[in-house]
Amino acid sequence: MIRRTPMQWKRYGTIAAVLVALSGGAYFFWLSSQSAGLPAGITGSNGRIEAERIDIAAKLPGRIAEVLVSEGQWISAGDLVATMDAVEIEAQLHQAQAAVAQAEQQKLQAEALLNQRLSEAEFARAEHARTERLAANGHATQEQLENRKTVLTTAEAGVAAARAGIDLADATIAAANASVERLQSVRNDADLVAPREGRVQYILAKAGEVVGAGGRVVTLTDLTDVYMTVFLPARDAGLLAIGSEARIVLDPIPDYVIPATVTFVASTAQFTPKSVETADERDQLMFRVKLTIPEDLLEEYQEQTKAGVAGVGYVRTDDTVPWPDTLSVKLPQ
């Protein structure tokens, strides 16, 4: 092992500090050079085109049955992206549907029983009334009247029990239907669909693989929300207003100028010196700014839109300053 002397370690530390200072100075020199040649009130900074990504994931653990898309493919909202193995869930769903049919048959039986009990109660009521008239005229004994009363009471109790049987059948049907709805929801979750239109960026799992709950299967790039992120010093970021016009020039097509809008300015600095005591140090505070391309323009140039392309974003810190001719909107025909 090579041993370093304290003097050597000190020398290496000094060299590292100088390199850090030089790299920081080079960065700020580059940043200031971006605005060179621009009129006062307009500034620019390097950035990269970004798009929101949507991870299409499995809600429940299971085996992937089929992946129906390929990388780079354009898909619409609601398109089927992949399917999970749902044999077990489908069996449970069929069982629950059979339970619903069984409960409905039980209700039909309960309704038939109720009609029978109503007929019996009506007959018992008529017999009791006739026996009462006979007993009043001395043609029937008190014992016969009491027997008819008992039969009537029993018949009325049978009617009440039959009505309760129908209520029980209704509750059983409701419970069975709820089970069907729950299992149908689980079955629907086995079909992974695109929540929005966009382009397939990555396929993260293949057919036959087992994924856990929340396991990502496909990553979709939402090309309806495309923007460039730039970093501006505090003196410029503090003058920006949400909704202000912006311009984007991409490295592969420098002859074209794309319109954009300032949709976000960070409330806290991204790069902060160890201590902020002087005006120069405050100028070194860098804030993240988001320049969003209009959705209708993205739709028009859907096939040409790609994330990851580098370029320069320009903003106006003074809305009264007109854009120079070099930054006038110019789009491919």
Report yes or no on whether pTM surpasses 0.75: no
Neighbour count for residue 204 (Cβ, 10 Å): 16
Which residues of the chain are modeled with pLDDT < 50?
Answer: 1-2, 8-9, 12, 14-35, 273-279, 282
Whether domain 35-52+222-327 has CATH 2.40.37.10: the reply is no
Q: Provide the pLDDT for residue 22.
A: 41
Q: Provide the pLDDT for residue 176.
A: 93
- For Cα atoms 111, 116, 118, give the angle at the middle one, nearest 5 degrees: 95
Q: Where in the chain are the domains?
A: 35-52+222-327, 56-86+192-216, 87-189
Cα 46 from Cα 228, distance rounded (Å): 9
Which stretches of the chain are DSSP H helices?
6-34, 87-136, 142-189, 234-237, 279-283, 295-300
Q: Provide the pLDDT for residue 138.
A: 81
Cβ atoms of 204 and 44 closer than 8 Å: no
Q: Provide the pLDDT for residue 7.
A: 53
Q: Provide the pLDDT for residue 15.
A: 47
Q: Provide the pLDDT for residue 283.
A: 57
Cβ atoms of 108 and 153 closer than 8 Å: no
Q: Provide the pLDDT for residue 145.
A: 84
Using CA of residue 205, residue 207, residue 208, residue 210, what is the dihedral sign? positive
Whole-number Cα distances in Å, 238 to 18, 228, 282, 287: 31, 19, 12, 9
Fold match, 35-52+222-327 / 56-86+192-216:
no
Q: Provide the pLDDT for residue 197.
A: 86
Whether domain 56-86+192-216 has CATH 2.40.50.100: the reply is yes
Cα 20 from Cα 16, distance rounded (Å): 6
Q: Provide the pLDDT for residue 32.
A: 44
Q: What is the pLDDT of residues 101-132, one digit of tens each?
A: 999 999 999 999 999 989 988 998 898 888 88
Q: Provide the pLDDT for residue 92.
A: 93
